[in-house]
Structure 1
């Protein structure tokens, strides 16, 4: 189940519920044009990722093991009642199944294939997976455990301290975190630097684990491999409804944003998701994310990064990025309802309805994507498109955070 420190899980496609759209066969499907086939071949395979150069623990087996234990450990929250897995439940395709979590304003994204992301969070407020992992730990609306309390908790719990020291070396007694007379504000370096480094080490261990959550073996992948190798049996076994839906996907230009083997361009767009009450959007999205990233002490070009990433040189927070949000991957998308950054679209059918009737938004965004035009899909088109999206599912069996083949 481990291959190059990446976990890949596959079981029979037939056990996954809710795939009725992808079943059944009808008349012959129109063949792909040469241009269409070239696009399809660019969508698979999703190869195993390289190690993250900004995280020296990327691919480290000890860090992966420690990170996994932390991910399911409720002691990583100030109340000891919430773990990372509380919102990213593996049994809910690494989401919480809610529109937005309690006290939050944005939908909890799935963790499938996060290792391939260029930016993290809906607004791109972090530029590495480990930097993103620091955010919910200290966020008062999420886990609320500041770095000093985190240091104290790791030091005072034997199993946490052993796990930490196995990966990161000896942990010295944290005076600031253990002496109630010393506040976080009055705690001076090197104690403050120690607490920050411990937070980073924890986040990098979590990231090493999160890198292993990979999905890359769907019915669509088998179909593309058949195209690439000339295996007519593999091509013909692909559901015909999904084949028709693939053509809808291509001819509707969905691939312009949902591109590449992870079905996302990794960038930010305004697709006209109107607030339910008909008001103008108040969430600045990417505009805010760039400011958060610019001011972050954990930027990939900062002192805690193992290697600088040059992509930060090209980001600018202009008005054109207001209310833009990151393009999510479509892999396993039928398992991660509800949808959009605010979770206000309940079903995959409703998502398709949004794109089919793009001009029906209650307002027109100033910077609405020029590619977002009403598709006017027929009911058959919609059914086939859903069948295609279902074919991007990599069937998995996950029990209590353990992966089983």
Structure 2
């Protein structure tokens, strides 16, 4: 082997390589041209017809304005949102004290659980739906059984296959726990009364107020949408070329018949390619009949939480400032169930840790 040390050695090595493959002399220049061309390759705006631009315009802007539920008087109220978040994470609403709403609707898993089928006290019929942007809906659940978010929030509490709770348990918790009684008074302007059914509904309304704050963050599509509407071709060209091609297919295939609007769903029910429908989805002995709720096509994967709720977390002055000092040392337990052995790990949050 030759000596490749020093300038002379390097020239000898380059000559030897060129003799093996003369075209390799052009590789440095080719690499430089590719590097210079990359911005142009990566930032290409496909041509969009007026019809396509109009279709894209209907998918924004994001996020839409907050929607308040006229049937829920604490919808959008900070005190109601704080109370609702606390109740959402409280496993004491369930019969065995081990399951809360957040057991299946996990913030770190896009407010779902990542399972093919939800796991309550046993395996359920369907997968857990995400809670992202749920406050903008008008039907709730895969079969649309809930016509309000608070009505839907009652169902898993009472369902014997899920939390298996009851109105008496929920009402007793609100009346006997000093901090929850305080939070209830803060939200509703009165102490928890003796009507168990009313307290169950009020619990669900508080949880609905919290869930309505779960708004997914903006995506690259939203930046593309806004730039295209503003005539900013340079910014719109940053949208990946593959995504632009996919969007053209999405429009041409009329996917927006079901997945339209800023949420990429009409919130209704349908079956693609199945002409016969017996109504909304129902499970019958393991089978399926009828149409199911059109899921959102808006990207929410691994999205960071973006909310309109107050910056304060439950347990701070927003929860307790209107109540007596007896609530100052309140600690709330929450159970996180492991998927396989269903064992329970309890964590405690005290007031000082909830900011």
Whether contact under 8 Å (1:161, 1:171) holds in the other structure is yes
Q: Does 1:241 align with 2:252?
A: no
Q: How much does 1:233 deviate?
A: 2.8
Q: How much does 1:237 deviate?
A: 1.3
Whether contact under 8 Å (1:101, 1:107) holds in the other structure is yes
Deviation >4 Å, runs of 4+: 24-29, 401-404
Q: How much does 1:246 deviate?
A: 0.7
- Please name the residue that 2:112 is paired with: 95
Whether contact under 8 Å (1:93, 1:110) holds in the other structure is yes
Residues 295-337 of structure 1, C-alpha deviations (whole Å, 9 max, x = no match): xxxxxxxxxxxxxxxxxxxxxxxxxx952001011122555xx
- Please name the residue that 2:350 is paired with: none
- Please name the residue that 2:77 is paired with: 60
- Please name the residue that 1:114 is paired with: 134
Which residue of 305, 312, 325 maps to 2:292?
Answer: 325
Cα distance in 2, alignment partners of residues 223 and 28 from structure 1: 12
Cα distance in 1, alignment partners of residues 239 and 250 from structure 2: 16
- Please name the residue that 1:7 is paired with: none
Q: Does 1:49 align with 2:50?
A: no
Change (3 A) 1:253 1:226: same
Cα distance in 1, alignment partners of residues 90 and 82 from structure 2: 13
Correspondences of 1:6-405 after superposition (within 5 Å)? 25=41, 28=44, 30-46=46-62, 47-102=64-119, 103=122, 104-168=124-188, 169-172=190-193, 174=194, 194-271=195-272, 286=280, 322-332=289-299, 334=301, 395-396=303-304
Q: How much does 1:251 deviate?
A: 1.3
Calculate the TM-score normalised by the size of structure 2: 0.68
- Where 1:213 maps in the other structure, the secondary structure is coil
Gap regions ≥5 residues in structure 2: 1-39, 313-355
Cα distance in 1, alignment partners of residues 47 and 129 from structure 2: 35
Cα distance in 2, alignment partners of residues 227 and 155 from structure 1: 54
Q: How many residues align?
A: 261
Tell me which moved more, 96-105 or 117-126: 96-105
Q: How much does 1:403 deviate?
A: 8.3
Cα distance in 2, alignment partners of residues 120 and 234 from structure 1: 37
Change (3 A) 1:41 1:94: same
Q: How much does 1:91 deviate?
A: 0.2
Cα distance in 2, alignment partners of residues 150 and 49 from structure 1: 29
Q: How much does 1:239 deviate?
A: 1.2
- Where 1:286 maps in the other structure, the secondary structure is coil
Change (3 A) 1:99 1:267: same
Residues 170-201 of structure 1, C-alpha deviations (whole Å, 9 max, x = no match): 124x5xxxxxxxxxxxxxxxxxxx11111110
Residues 348-390 of structure 1, C-alpha deviations (whole Å, 9 max, x = no match): xxxxxxxxxxxxxxxxxxxxxxxxxxxxxxxxxxxxxxxxxxx
- Please name the residue that 2:324 is paired with: none
Whether contact under 8 Å (1:29, 1:244) holds in the other structure is no
Change (3 A) 1:29 1:396: same
Residues 57-112 of structure 1, C-alpha deviations (whole Å, 9 max, x = no match): 11111000100111111112121111111100000000011011222101100001
- Where 2:85 maps in the other structure, the secondary structure is helix
Cα distance in 1, alignment partners of residues 196 and 207 from structure 2: 17
Residues 128-176 of structure 1, C-alpha deviations (whole Å, 9 max, x = no match): 111101111111111111001111122222222222222221124x5xx
